Amino acid sequence: MITYRSEKGAPLSIEEMDNNFHELEQRLDAFEKTNNSFDSLVDAKVDGDQMTLISNRGRKIGPIQLPIISYTPRGKWESKTDYAGYDVASHASGAYVCTTPHCSSDFANDKQHWRLLLQGGGVETKENEKTEKCARIYEPATLPKVAELGQISIYLNEKSQPSVIYGDGYGWRYAATNTKV
């Protein structure tokens, strides 16, 4: 047992100080013998917006709430338009997320404000007499009931949480789970 000066109400004797050091040494030896390896991270499981970390000793830490990014669908990119961070717009053959607020001018000059979110797609659009593939972003109100086989798009649910979806020729499926939208 460790003797404290504050509990004793007087200075410790040499013998009491030696006993304290002896007690601490015994506790440290016992700790070193039973805990010779420290926990290290071996796995991280993510379920929706929750993450649980798992150590090499099987100890679970979590669940930890993950942040959710809310995207704002803006449709097709247009010049002379104010865009805010996390706005999503389609241009050419991709869907882009705005990284810095700005007023658009020309996409080539504005490209530093955008990051590619999704490349490709299965919806054909006519632009300047040229047909090109363009990724689409849908919300519940704008999602077509029928989707072409292989059509890839982004679906923003009621909370504006994005998911990659694809057309199976009849309807839409979530790419991550292969379940119907």
Which tens digits make up the pLDDT trace of 7-54?
999 999 999 999 999 999 999 888 777 765 666 777 888 887 788 888
Q: Within 13 A of 167's CA, how many CA atoms are on the CB side?
A: 19
Burial of 162 (0-12, 13-18, 19+ CB in 10 A): buried
Mean pLDDT on 131-157: 75
CA dist., res. 175 & res. 139, Å (int): 16
Q: Tens digits of per-residue pLDDT, 92-138?
A: 767 888 999 999 999 988 889 998 877 654 444 444 333 344 457 78
Q: pTM surpassing 0.85?
A: no
State the pLDDT at residue 132.
40
State the pLDDT at residue 138.
82
Around Cβ 111, how many Cβ atoms within 10 Å? 12
The SS3 call for residue 97 is strand
The one-letter code for the residue type at 123 is V
CA dist., res. 164 & res. 39, Å (int): 36
State the pLDDT at residue 136.
74
What's the first-to-final CA gap in the chain, in angstroms? 65
Mean pLDDT on 54-69: 81
State the pLDDT at residue 14.
94
Task: Check if the beta carbon of residue 57 is closer than 8 Å to that of residue 45.
Answer: no
State the pLDDT at residue 100.
92
